[in-house]
Amino acid sequence: MRKIQIAVIGYNGDRCTDVARDVAYSTGIEIAKAGAALVCGGLGGVMEAACKGAKDAGGTAIGIIPQDDFSYANKYCDIVVCTGIGFARDFVVASSADGIIAIGGGVGTLIELSVGYMIKKPLVVISGSGGTADSYGGKYLDERNRVPIMMAKDAKTAVQTILDSIKKD
């Protein structure tokens, strides 16, 4: 039986706040504790913190990177998918997940949320993590109301919300 795959998206590198990093680490732990695999963009910031959390809790971290060289992935990725397609990898990250959790983030995070929205994936943001997550939480991305962007107060609630949404489908 295939493992559930939960994407964690958000701030990359220097733009990542300490709050977002801490929330991402906790989210990685909760994903691992749920027996799911973590999917992310495989780079720094939120992605690295989430991968570290998953690894520290005995889970699996999958990084889907925009480059064509494994060395760009953060050191906590168990599996690295080198796409070589730049920002278009955001489509691969969102499409490879059963549900998506946003923590902070900028336009790349918004792209991944938009892809998830179009293909009707469960979407959850962690409130108070900043950026895109706080801007779009509790809303729909357009008038079609395809899927709501649900809000969670913490990592445990976010993961449980994704799992509950998957079970309904």
- Locus of tokens 């990093």: 21
Given this model, what pLDDT does residue 167 score? Answer: 87
Given this model, what pLDDT does residue 169 score? Answer: 66
Q: What residues does 60 pair with on adjacent strands?
A: 37
Top CATH class of 5-161 equals: alpha beta
pTM beyond 0.85: the answer is yes
Given this model, what pLDDT does residue 82 score? Answer: 98
Extract long-range pairs of 56-62: CB within 8 Å, 24+ residues apart. 56/28, 56/29, 57/28, 57/29, 57/32, 57/33, 58/32, 59/28, 59/29, 59/31, 59/32, 59/33, 60/3, 60/32, 61/28, 61/37, 62/5, 62/37, 62/38, 62/96
Q: Could you report the average pLDDT of every consecutive run of 10 residues in the chain (169 residues)?
A: 96 94 98 98 98 98 98 98 97 98 97 98 98 97 97 98 90
Tokens of 81: 């998918």
